[in-house]
Structure 1
Protein backbone atom coordinates (compact mmCIF):
# COMPACT_ATOMS: atom_id res chain seq x y z
CA UNK A 1 0.00 0.00 0.00
CA UNK A 2 1.01 3.65 -0.24
CA UNK A 3 1.81 3.38 3.40
CA UNK A 4 2.38 4.37 6.05
CA UNK A 5 0.08 7.17 5.00
CA UNK A 6 1.72 10.53 5.63
CA UNK A 7 -0.14 12.40 8.34
CA UNK A 8 -0.03 15.73 6.46
CA UNK A 9 -2.42 17.31 4.02
CA UNK A 10 -0.18 18.93 1.46
CA UNK A 11 -1.25 22.48 0.65
CA UNK A 12 0.79 23.30 -2.44
CA UNK A 13 1.25 20.72 -5.18
CA UNK A 14 3.13 21.12 -8.43
CA UNK A 15 3.16 18.33 -11.01
CA UNK A 16 6.60 18.36 -12.56
CA UNK A 17 7.28 18.24 -16.28
CA UNK A 18 8.38 14.74 -17.36
CA UNK A 19 11.64 14.94 -15.41
CA UNK A 20 12.34 11.21 -15.73
CA UNK A 21 12.39 11.57 -19.52
CA UNK A 22 15.39 13.89 -19.16
CA UNK A 23 17.51 11.29 -17.41
CA UNK A 24 18.88 9.45 -20.44
CA UNK A 25 20.41 12.66 -21.79
CA UNK A 26 21.36 14.12 -18.40
CA UNK A 27 22.60 10.89 -16.84
CA UNK A 28 21.62 12.10 -13.39
CA UNK A 29 19.63 14.94 -11.81
CA UNK A 30 20.42 15.98 -8.21
CA UNK A 31 17.26 16.57 -6.19
CA UNK A 32 18.36 19.76 -4.41
CA UNK A 33 19.40 21.27 -7.73
CA UNK A 34 16.09 20.23 -9.31
CA UNK A 35 14.06 21.72 -6.47
CA UNK A 36 16.00 25.00 -6.62
CA UNK A 37 15.26 25.16 -10.36
CA UNK A 38 11.56 24.47 -9.82
CA UNK A 39 11.29 26.98 -6.99
CA UNK A 40 12.86 29.74 -9.05
CA UNK A 41 10.76 28.97 -12.12
CA UNK A 42 7.48 28.85 -10.16
CA UNK A 43 8.23 31.62 -7.65
CA UNK A 44 8.24 29.26 -4.67
CA UNK A 45 10.22 29.35 -1.44
CA UNK A 46 11.73 25.92 -0.76
CA UNK A 47 14.73 25.51 1.55
CA UNK A 48 16.74 22.29 1.66
CA UNK A 49 19.85 21.74 3.79
CA UNK A 50 19.35 18.00 3.46
CA UNK A 51 16.89 15.30 2.43
CA UNK A 52 15.22 12.24 3.91
CA UNK A 53 14.49 9.41 1.48
CA UNK A 54 11.09 7.80 2.12
CA UNK A 55 10.37 4.22 1.05
CA UNK A 56 7.06 2.92 2.44
CA UNK A 57 7.85 4.21 5.92
CA UNK A 58 11.60 3.64 5.84
CA UNK A 59 13.40 6.98 6.25
CA UNK A 60 17.08 7.63 5.45
CA UNK A 61 18.63 11.10 5.97
CA UNK A 62 21.05 12.26 3.28
CA UNK A 63 22.82 15.41 2.15
CA UNK A 64 21.26 15.05 -1.31
CA UNK A 65 19.74 12.43 -3.61
CA UNK A 66 20.05 11.92 -7.35
CA UNK A 67 17.71 10.54 -10.00
CA UNK A 68 19.90 8.37 -12.26
CA UNK A 69 19.30 6.79 -15.68
CA UNK A 70 19.79 3.00 -15.55
CA UNK A 71 20.65 1.15 -18.79
CA UNK A 72 18.35 -1.72 -19.71
CA UNK A 73 21.08 -4.33 -19.16
CA UNK A 74 20.21 -7.70 -17.65
CA UNK A 75 16.88 -6.46 -16.30
CA UNK A 76 15.46 -6.44 -19.83
CA UNK A 77 13.63 -3.19 -19.22
CA UNK A 78 14.53 0.50 -18.88
CA UNK A 79 14.83 1.72 -15.34
CA UNK A 80 15.76 4.70 -13.20
CA UNK A 81 17.28 4.79 -9.74
CA UNK A 82 17.33 7.11 -6.78
CA UNK A 83 20.71 7.23 -5.08
CA UNK A 84 20.99 8.91 -1.67
CA UNK A 85 24.12 10.63 -0.41
CA UNK A 86 23.34 9.23 3.02
CA UNK A 87 24.57 10.57 6.34
CA UNK A 88 27.46 8.46 7.61
CA UNK A 89 28.54 5.06 6.22
CA UNK A 90 25.09 4.17 4.87
CA UNK A 91 24.33 2.78 1.42
CA UNK A 92 20.93 3.79 0.10
CA UNK A 93 19.59 3.39 -3.42
CA UNK A 94 16.50 2.05 -5.16
CA UNK A 95 15.84 1.03 -8.77
CA UNK A 96 12.42 1.53 -10.39
CA UNK A 97 10.76 0.13 -13.51
CA UNK A 98 10.64 2.98 -16.02
CA UNK A 99 8.13 1.16 -18.25
CA UNK A 100 5.42 2.19 -15.78
CA UNK A 101 3.82 5.61 -16.18
CA UNK A 102 5.23 7.76 -13.39
CA UNK A 103 4.35 11.28 -12.28
CA UNK A 104 6.56 13.35 -9.99
CA UNK A 105 5.13 16.03 -7.69
CA UNK A 106 6.59 18.82 -5.58
CA UNK A 107 4.60 19.07 -2.36
CA UNK A 108 4.62 21.70 0.39
CA UNK A 109 3.23 22.50 3.79
CA UNK A 110 4.32 25.48 5.90
CA UNK A 111 6.79 23.18 7.67
CA UNK A 112 8.26 20.91 5.00
CA UNK A 113 8.45 20.18 1.28
CA UNK A 114 8.85 16.90 -0.58
CA UNK A 115 9.19 15.28 -3.97
CA UNK A 116 6.95 12.25 -4.48
CA UNK A 117 6.67 9.90 -7.44
CA UNK A 118 3.65 7.70 -8.07
CA UNK A 119 2.91 5.26 -10.89
CA UNK A 120 -0.41 4.86 -12.67
CA UNK A 121 -0.42 1.21 -11.60
CA UNK A 122 -0.02 1.97 -7.90
CA UNK A 123 -2.75 4.60 -8.11
CA UNK A 124 -5.07 2.17 -9.92
CA UNK A 125 -4.56 -0.64 -7.40
CA UNK A 126 -4.35 1.37 -4.20
CA UNK A 127 -6.20 4.63 -4.50
CA UNK A 128 -8.43 5.00 -7.57
CA UNK A 129 -11.52 3.94 -5.59
CA UNK A 130 -10.91 6.63 -2.99
CA UNK A 131 -9.42 9.55 -4.95
CA UNK A 132 -10.56 10.99 -8.26
CA UNK A 133 -7.02 11.76 -9.47
CA UNK A 134 -3.41 10.84 -8.69
CA UNK A 135 -2.83 14.41 -7.52
CA UNK A 136 -5.68 14.07 -5.00
CA UNK A 137 -4.12 10.86 -3.69
CA UNK A 138 -0.69 12.46 -3.35
CA UNK A 139 -2.20 15.49 -1.58
CA UNK A 140 -3.58 13.09 1.04
CA UNK A 141 -0.12 11.60 1.59
CA UNK A 142 -0.82 8.45 -0.42
CA UNK A 143 2.59 7.83 -1.95
CA UNK A 144 5.04 5.03 -1.30
CA UNK A 145 8.21 6.80 -2.44
CA UNK A 146 9.43 10.32 -1.86
CA UNK A 147 12.19 12.64 -0.73
CA UNK A 148 11.46 15.03 2.12
CA UNK A 149 13.36 18.33 2.12
CA UNK A 150 14.58 19.58 5.50
CA UNK A 151 16.39 22.71 6.64
CA UNK A 152 17.69 24.45 9.75
CA UNK A 153 17.17 22.85 13.16
CA UNK A 154 14.84 20.24 11.68
CA UNK A 155 17.63 18.97 9.43
CA UNK A 156 20.19 19.02 12.25
CA UNK A 157 17.84 16.90 14.35
CA UNK A 158 17.63 14.31 11.56
CA UNK A 159 21.43 14.16 11.35
CA UNK A 160 21.94 13.88 15.10
CA UNK A 161 19.42 11.04 15.44
CA UNK A 162 20.95 8.90 12.70
CA UNK A 163 24.53 9.53 13.86
CA UNK A 164 23.64 8.15 17.29
CA UNK A 165 22.78 4.76 15.81
CA UNK A 166 24.38 1.95 13.83
CA UNK A 167 21.13 1.42 11.94
CA UNK A 168 20.79 2.05 8.20
CA UNK A 169 17.48 3.92 8.56
CA UNK A 170 14.56 5.00 10.73
CA UNK A 171 11.09 3.47 10.54
CA UNK A 172 7.81 5.36 10.64
CA UNK A 173 4.85 3.67 12.33
CA UNK A 174 1.30 3.77 10.97
CA UNK A 175 0.42 6.46 13.53
CA UNK A 176 3.19 8.75 12.23
CA UNK A 177 5.59 8.23 15.14
CA UNK A 178 9.17 7.17 14.41
CA UNK A 179 11.18 4.17 15.57
CA UNK A 180 14.96 4.54 15.78
CA UNK A 181 16.62 1.09 15.58
CA UNK A 182 20.01 0.95 17.27
CA UNK A 183 21.69 -1.51 14.90
CA UNK A 184 21.38 -2.93 11.40
CA UNK A 185 20.31 -6.25 12.90
CA UNK A 186 17.50 -4.59 14.83
CA UNK A 187 16.41 -2.73 11.69
CA UNK A 188 16.11 -5.94 9.67
CA UNK A 189 14.26 -7.67 12.49
CA UNK A 190 11.72 -4.85 12.47
CA UNK A 191 11.21 -5.07 8.70
CA UNK A 192 11.08 -8.88 9.01
CA UNK A 193 13.77 -9.59 6.42
CA UNK A 194 17.45 -10.30 5.87
CA UNK A 195 19.73 -7.92 3.94
CA UNK A 196 19.81 -10.29 0.95
CA UNK A 197 16.05 -10.92 0.92
CA UNK A 198 15.40 -7.24 1.44
CA UNK A 199 17.38 -6.27 -1.64
CA UNK A 200 16.53 -9.08 -4.04
CA UNK A 201 12.80 -8.89 -3.41
CA UNK A 202 12.74 -5.11 -3.67
CA UNK A 203 12.06 -4.89 0.04
CA UNK A 204 9.05 -7.24 -0.24
CA UNK A 205 7.35 -4.65 -2.47
CA UNK A 206 4.28 -5.58 -4.46
CA UNK A 207 5.08 -5.78 -8.19
CA UNK A 208 2.69 -2.95 -9.09
CA UNK A 209 4.84 -0.54 -7.06
CA UNK A 210 7.55 -0.81 -9.74
CA UNK A 211 10.43 -1.25 -7.28
CA UNK A 212 13.05 -3.55 -8.85
CA UNK A 213 15.94 -3.33 -6.35
CA UNK A 214 16.53 -1.77 -2.96
CA UNK A 215 19.72 -1.33 -0.95
CA UNK A 216 19.54 0.07 2.58
CA UNK A 217 22.59 -0.97 4.61
CA UNK A 218 25.34 0.44 6.82
CA UNK A 219 29.03 -0.45 6.57
Structure 2
Protein backbone atom coordinates (compact mmCIF):
# COMPACT_ATOMS: atom_id res chain seq x y z
CA UNK A 1 0.00 0.00 0.00
CA UNK A 2 1.15 3.54 -0.67
CA UNK A 3 1.49 6.18 2.04
CA UNK A 4 -1.99 7.49 1.23
CA UNK A 5 -3.59 4.08 1.73
CA UNK A 6 -4.46 2.38 5.01
CA UNK A 7 -6.36 -0.64 6.20
CA UNK A 8 -6.96 -2.09 9.63
CA UNK A 9 -9.44 -4.53 11.11
CA UNK A 10 -12.00 -3.57 13.74
CA UNK A 11 -11.92 -6.77 15.83
CA UNK A 12 -13.89 -5.12 18.64
CA UNK A 13 -16.60 -3.82 16.30
CA UNK A 14 -19.23 -6.52 16.97
CA UNK A 15 -18.43 -6.61 20.71
CA UNK A 16 -18.94 -2.85 20.93
CA UNK A 17 -22.16 -3.09 18.95
CA UNK A 18 -23.52 -5.93 21.10
CA UNK A 19 -22.64 -4.24 24.39
CA UNK A 20 -24.03 -0.83 23.37
CA UNK A 21 -26.97 -2.00 21.25
CA UNK A 22 -26.23 0.73 18.71
CA UNK A 23 -23.09 2.32 17.27
CA UNK A 24 -22.86 5.41 15.11
CA UNK A 25 -20.38 5.08 12.25
CA UNK A 26 -18.81 8.44 13.13
CA UNK A 27 -18.08 7.16 16.66
CA UNK A 28 -16.60 3.85 15.48
CA UNK A 29 -13.59 5.46 13.78
CA UNK A 30 -10.90 8.01 14.50
CA UNK A 31 -11.76 10.20 11.51
CA UNK A 32 -13.48 13.57 11.30
CA UNK A 33 -16.87 12.63 9.83
CA UNK A 34 -19.31 15.30 8.58
CA UNK A 35 -21.33 12.83 6.50
CA UNK A 36 -21.30 9.34 5.01
CA UNK A 37 -22.14 7.68 1.73
CA UNK A 38 -23.56 4.20 2.33
CA UNK A 39 -22.35 1.75 -0.33
CA UNK A 40 -24.66 -1.18 -1.04
CA UNK A 41 -23.36 -3.32 -3.90
CA UNK A 42 -22.86 -0.31 -6.18
CA UNK A 43 -25.85 1.70 -4.99
CA UNK A 44 -24.81 4.71 -2.92
CA UNK A 45 -26.92 6.73 -0.51
CA UNK A 46 -25.57 9.97 1.01
CA UNK A 47 -26.41 10.41 4.69
CA UNK A 48 -25.68 12.79 7.52
CA UNK A 49 -24.96 9.76 9.73
CA UNK A 50 -25.33 5.99 9.71
CA UNK A 51 -26.04 3.85 12.77
CA UNK A 52 -25.56 0.15 13.36
CA UNK A 53 -28.21 -1.47 15.58
CA UNK A 54 -27.84 -4.96 17.07
CA UNK A 55 -30.94 -7.08 17.65
CA UNK A 56 -29.97 -10.56 18.83
CA UNK A 57 -29.49 -12.70 15.75
CA UNK A 58 -29.27 -9.75 13.37
CA UNK A 59 -27.83 -6.29 13.02
CA UNK A 60 -28.90 -3.45 10.80
CA UNK A 61 -27.56 -0.23 9.42
CA UNK A 62 -29.86 2.76 9.31
CA UNK A 63 -28.83 5.80 7.28
CA UNK A 64 -29.96 9.33 8.17
CA UNK A 65 -30.16 10.05 4.46
CA UNK A 66 -30.11 13.41 2.70
CA UNK A 67 -33.59 14.61 1.72
CA UNK A 68 -36.45 12.13 1.74
CA UNK A 69 -34.27 9.15 0.85
CA UNK A 70 -34.02 6.21 3.22
CA UNK A 71 -31.70 3.25 3.64
CA UNK A 72 -32.21 0.44 6.12
CA UNK A 73 -30.54 -2.94 5.66
CA UNK A 74 -30.71 -5.94 8.01
CA UNK A 75 -27.90 -8.50 8.10
CA UNK A 76 -27.68 -12.01 9.61
CA UNK A 77 -25.42 -11.61 12.66
CA UNK A 78 -24.31 -15.25 12.51
CA UNK A 79 -22.78 -15.00 9.01
CA UNK A 80 -19.21 -14.45 10.24
CA UNK A 81 -18.71 -10.73 9.68
CA UNK A 82 -15.41 -8.87 9.79
CA UNK A 83 -15.26 -5.07 9.72
CA UNK A 84 -12.40 -2.92 8.46
CA UNK A 85 -11.47 0.73 8.28
CA UNK A 86 -9.47 1.71 5.24
CA UNK A 87 -8.59 4.26 2.63
CA UNK A 88 -7.69 3.58 -0.99
CA UNK A 89 -5.39 5.93 -2.87
CA UNK A 90 -7.27 9.05 -3.92
CA UNK A 91 -10.44 8.15 -2.04
CA UNK A 92 -12.11 8.94 1.27
CA UNK A 93 -11.76 6.67 4.30
CA UNK A 94 -14.33 3.90 4.65
CA UNK A 95 -15.78 1.41 7.08
CA UNK A 96 -16.66 -1.85 5.31
CA UNK A 97 -17.86 -5.27 6.41
CA UNK A 98 -17.84 -8.68 4.74
CA UNK A 99 -19.24 -12.06 5.78
CA UNK A 100 -17.52 -15.41 5.34
CA UNK A 101 -19.82 -16.66 2.56
CA UNK A 102 -19.33 -13.51 0.48
CA UNK A 103 -15.57 -13.93 0.70
CA UNK A 104 -15.72 -17.65 -0.16
CA UNK A 105 -18.13 -17.12 -3.07
CA UNK A 106 -16.85 -13.90 -4.62
CA UNK A 107 -13.22 -13.42 -3.58
CA UNK A 108 -11.46 -16.57 -2.33
CA UNK A 109 -10.34 -17.67 -5.81
CA UNK A 110 -8.25 -14.50 -6.28
CA UNK A 111 -7.72 -13.06 -2.77
CA UNK A 112 -5.94 -14.66 0.18
CA UNK A 113 -8.26 -13.24 2.85
CA UNK A 114 -10.84 -10.55 3.56
CA UNK A 115 -8.18 -7.95 4.35
CA UNK A 116 -6.65 -8.35 0.89
CA UNK A 117 -10.08 -8.02 -0.72
CA UNK A 118 -10.74 -4.84 1.28
CA UNK A 119 -7.36 -3.42 0.27
CA UNK A 120 -8.53 -3.57 -3.36
CA UNK A 121 -11.93 -2.05 -2.55
CA UNK A 122 -13.69 -5.37 -3.22
CA UNK A 123 -16.56 -5.24 -0.74
CA UNK A 124 -20.32 -5.13 -1.07
CA UNK A 125 -21.18 -3.06 2.01
CA UNK A 126 -19.56 0.00 3.51
CA UNK A 127 -19.75 3.64 4.44
CA UNK A 128 -17.45 6.19 2.85
CA UNK A 129 -16.55 8.84 5.40
CA UNK A 130 -16.48 12.49 4.34
CA UNK A 131 -15.11 15.46 6.21
CA UNK A 132 -16.73 18.90 5.95
CA UNK A 133 -14.86 19.88 2.77
CA UNK A 134 -15.93 16.87 0.68
CA UNK A 135 -19.34 16.45 2.33
CA UNK A 136 -20.62 19.82 1.04
CA UNK A 137 -20.27 18.59 -2.54
CA UNK A 138 -22.11 15.33 -1.76
CA UNK A 139 -25.03 17.16 -0.11
CA UNK A 140 -25.27 19.61 -3.00
CA UNK A 141 -25.37 16.81 -5.59
CA UNK A 142 -27.91 14.82 -3.58
CA UNK A 143 -30.12 17.89 -3.14
CA UNK A 144 -30.20 18.46 -6.90
CA UNK A 145 -31.52 14.95 -7.65
CA UNK A 146 -34.70 13.02 -6.95
CA UNK A 147 -32.97 9.67 -7.50
CA UNK A 148 -33.26 7.35 -4.48
CA UNK A 149 -29.58 6.45 -4.77
CA UNK A 150 -26.59 6.91 -7.05
CA UNK A 151 -24.80 4.09 -8.88
CA UNK A 152 -21.08 3.44 -8.77
CA UNK A 153 -19.66 2.42 -12.14
CA UNK A 154 -16.64 0.11 -12.65
CA UNK A 155 -14.55 3.01 -14.01
CA UNK A 156 -14.98 4.90 -10.72
CA UNK A 157 -17.67 7.34 -11.89
CA UNK A 158 -20.86 7.79 -9.92
CA UNK A 159 -23.98 8.25 -12.02
CA UNK A 160 -27.49 9.34 -11.13
CA UNK A 161 -30.03 6.84 -12.46
CA UNK A 162 -33.12 8.35 -14.06
CA UNK A 163 -35.15 5.39 -12.84
CA UNK A 164 -33.89 2.32 -11.01
CA UNK A 165 -35.66 -0.04 -13.38
CA UNK A 166 -33.89 1.43 -16.43
CA UNK A 167 -30.46 0.47 -15.09
CA UNK A 168 -30.91 -3.30 -15.51
CA UNK A 169 -28.21 -5.35 -13.84
CA UNK A 170 -26.52 -2.28 -12.34
CA UNK A 171 -29.16 -2.18 -9.59
CA UNK A 172 -28.89 -5.01 -7.03
CA UNK A 173 -31.92 -7.33 -7.22
CA UNK A 174 -32.94 -6.65 -3.61
CA UNK A 175 -33.39 -2.98 -4.55
CA UNK A 176 -35.73 -4.05 -7.38
CA UNK A 177 -37.98 -6.04 -5.04
CA UNK A 178 -36.31 -9.42 -5.64
CA UNK A 179 -34.46 -11.69 -3.19
CA UNK A 180 -30.78 -10.93 -2.55
CA UNK A 181 -28.14 -13.60 -3.21
CA UNK A 182 -28.05 -15.84 -0.12
CA UNK A 183 -24.26 -15.69 0.31
CA UNK A 184 -24.33 -11.96 1.13
CA UNK A 185 -25.93 -12.38 4.56
CA UNK A 186 -28.74 -9.87 3.88
CA UNK A 187 -32.09 -10.49 5.55
CA UNK A 188 -33.88 -7.38 4.30
CA UNK A 189 -33.00 -4.24 2.35
CA UNK A 190 -35.03 -1.07 1.93
CA UNK A 191 -33.41 1.75 0.00
CA UNK A 192 -35.47 4.39 -1.74
CA UNK A 193 -37.38 7.63 -1.29
CA UNK A 194 -40.22 8.59 0.99
TM-score (norm 2): 0.88
Q: Which residue of 1 aligns with 2:64?
A: 85
Give 1:210's aligned residue: 185
- Residue 189, structure 1, aligned to residue 162, structure 2: no
Q: CA separation in 1, counterparts of 2:22 and 2:177?
A: 24
Task: Tell me the secondary structure at the aligned position of residue 99 of structure 1.
Answer: helix
> Could you say which residue in structure 1 is the equivalent of 2:27?
33
1:153 corresponds, among 130, 133, 148, to 133
Task: Give the structure-1-normalised TM-score.
Answer: 0.79
Partners of 1:193 and 1:52 lie apart in 2 by 18
Provide the secondary structure at the position in 1 that maps to 2:79.
coil
Once the two structures are superposed, residues 174-206 of structure 1 have per-residue CA deviations (whole angstroms, 9 ceiling, x without a partner) of: 222111134xxx124325699x9637545xx31
Do 1:19 and 1:104's aligned partners in 2 also have CA atoms closer than 8 Å? yes
Unaligned runs of 5+ in 1: 1-9, 40-45, 72-77
* Residue 17 in structure 1 maps to residue 11 in structure 2: yes
Aligned 8 A contact 1:52 1:62 in 2:
yes
Q: CA RMSD in A?
A: 2.5
Structure 2 Cα separation of the partners of residues 129 and 102 of structure 1:
19
1:52 paired residue number: 37
What aligned pairs does 1:56-205 form with structure 2 within 5 A after superposition?
A: 56-71=41-56, 78-109=57-88, 111-182=91-162, 186-191=163-168, 198=175, 201-202=178-179, 205=180
- Structure 2: tracts of 5 or more residues without a match: none
